[in-house]
Structure 1
């Protein structure tokens, strides 16, 4: 099934999408593509905000973009791998039956599936700037991301290996 179809299905129920992906077998290449695509989309979502900031403050846009590129493409995937490890460790402490791959898949898929909202957040930050609209979109994105991650994590912890 197409990734976009799975993203839409995740908004209806993240657990069923994660169970379906886990049923396809352990595919570390798929998990790596999800985390890299999610981080790339977050990087792209930062560009309108960075452009606005560069224009308003007189900073160099290329420097701001380089910093965001370093953070989101090179550092955040490593941070997300550590976060997934900690989530799996917590799942094991609570008696879950999941795997490290399942924990990574749940986190990385949550980031990718919530990407339409982070793109909206970037547009609001770039065109409107700080204010209630940006805060609202940010809270909605964070809520949806947490829903996807927690729902996917619970689904993968309940899978019997």
Structure 2
């Protein structure tokens, strides 16, 4: 089944979509899901980075800062590429491991691959909302709208992650 279709169906019936994916899960497949999620999160940052570079350039021109000391868009995108495509996957693997340890400590054992797939699929399914959040960050900027959307994205991610973890424990 197409990943995009499964992402949409995950919001209606998370268990029905996640069960077959978990049954067919492999470590390379889990990594592919995580890298897809990280890439979409990386892309979601572009509007905010563009805004940041533009505002920094305007501020530098007003103050008289030399152009070589102003953050350039390419540098900001490069830094985010490194962080989201190389460092974030390591952090997400650690979070998945930690969630498995915590669940085992509370007597709710989950297979390590199940814990990873639950987290990674929740990230991938939430990525379209993060793309919307990125548009708000780029076009509207910091403020109540961005805060509310960010909070709703976080709640949606946490809700979906706990539902998928329950499914992985079954």
| Per-residue CA distance 1:118-158 (angstroms, 9 max, x = gap) | 00000110011011111121111111111111110111112
| Per-residue CA distance 1:95-135 (angstroms, 9 max, x = gap) | 22320000000000000001110000001100110111111
1:91 and 1:157 in contact (8 A); partners too: no
Q: What TM-score, normalized by structure 2, do the two folds share?
A: 0.88
Shift in CA distance, 97/19, structure 1 to aligned 2, threshold 3 Å: farther
CA RMSD of aligned residues (A): 1.1
Residue correspondence of structure 1 range 97-112 to structure 2 within 5 A: 97-112=109-124
Confirm or deny that 1:43 pairs with 2:55: no
State the match for 1:63 in structure 2: 75
Q: Which runs of 5+ in 2 are unaligned?
A: 58-70
Query: Structure 2 residue aligned with 1:83, among 91, 95, 98?
Result: 95
Residue correspondence of structure 1 range 9-48 to structure 2 within 5 A: 9-24=9-24, 26-48=25-47
Partners in 1 of 2:163 and 2:13 — Cα distance?
Answer: 8
2:100 and 2:109 in contact (8 A); partners too: no
Query: Structure 1 residue aligned with 2:126, among 103, 106, 114?
Result: 114
Partners in 1 of 2:3 and 2:129 — Cα distance?
Answer: 16
More deviation, 61-70/11-20? 11-20
Partners in 1 of 2:16 and 2:165 — Cα distance?
Answer: 11
Q: Which runs of 5+ in 1 are unaligned?
A: none
User: Aligned pairs, how many?
Assistant: 157
SS of the aligned residue for 2:109 comes to coil
Partners in 1 of 2:12 and 2:113 — Cα distance?
Answer: 23
| Per-residue CA distance 1:35-84 (angstroms, 9 max, x = gap) | 00000000110011000000001221111111111110000000000000
Q: How far off is 1:16 after superposition?
A: 2.8
Q: Which has the larger radius of gyration?
A: 2
Q: How far off is 1:18 after superposition?
A: 2.0
Confirm or deny that 1:4 pairs with 2:16: no
